[in-house]
Amino acid sequence: MTTLHEEHSAHTHTHGPACGHAEVPHGDHIDYAHDGHLHRAHDGHWDECEPSGHNAHAGHDHRHAEGCGHARVQHGDHVDYLHDGHRHAEHDGHWDDH
C-alpha cells in the first residue's frame, strides 16, 4: 500500500505522546488523529497520512463495531478501527486497510 505525500502546511501543533490526540501505529511510524484526519511527522513538517487507491483487506472475518475491543478513530466521514497495527474501514461489504 502506498501513502500519498501531502504536506499539511498550516499545521502549527506539535504532536507527541502527551498532545491529547490518539496515537495510531501505521507501519514504521505513528499517525496522530486530529480533526478527522491523520498526521505524521516527515522531514521537519507534518503530512496528511492517507492511503492512495483502494486497499481491500482480504480475509478479514472480524466484524468491527462499537464494543468490539478495537480502538475507534474518527477519519473524515467514517470511523476507522485500529487492528494489528493498521486501520480498518468498512467499505462496500468488506474492510479496507487505511
* Residue 15 covered by a domain: no
The DSSP code sequence of 36-98 is TEEEEEETTEEEE--B-S--B-TT------TTSSS-EEEETTEEEEEETTEEEEEETTEEEE-
Number of domains observed in the structure of the chain: 1
The span from the CA of 40 to the CA of 29, in Å, is 7
2 pLDDT band, cuts 50/70/90, is: very low
pTM above 0.85, yes or no: no
pLDDT for res 7: 58
Q: What contacts 1, CB < 8 A, 6 or more positions away?
A: 51, 52, 53, 55, 97
Task: State how far the Cα of 38 lies from the Cα of 6, in Å rounded to an integer.
Answer: 11
For 44, the domain range is 6-10+20-97
Q: What is the b/e burial string over 49-59, where b = at least 16 CB atoms within 10 angstroms of the residue's CB?
A: bebeeebebee
Q: How far apart are CA 85 and CA 98, in angstroms?
A: 11
Query: How does pLDDT run across 4-61, given as a tens digit for each residue?
Result: 556 556 667 788 888 888 888 877 888 888 777 788 888 888 888 776 666 777 777 7
Question: Strand 37-42 and strand 29-34: pairing?
Answer: antiparallel
> Which stretch, 4-18, 60-74, 84-98, has highest mean pLDDT?
60-74
Let me know if residue 24 belongs to a domain. yes
Report yes or no on 32 lying in a domain. yes
In a domain, 69, yes or no: yes
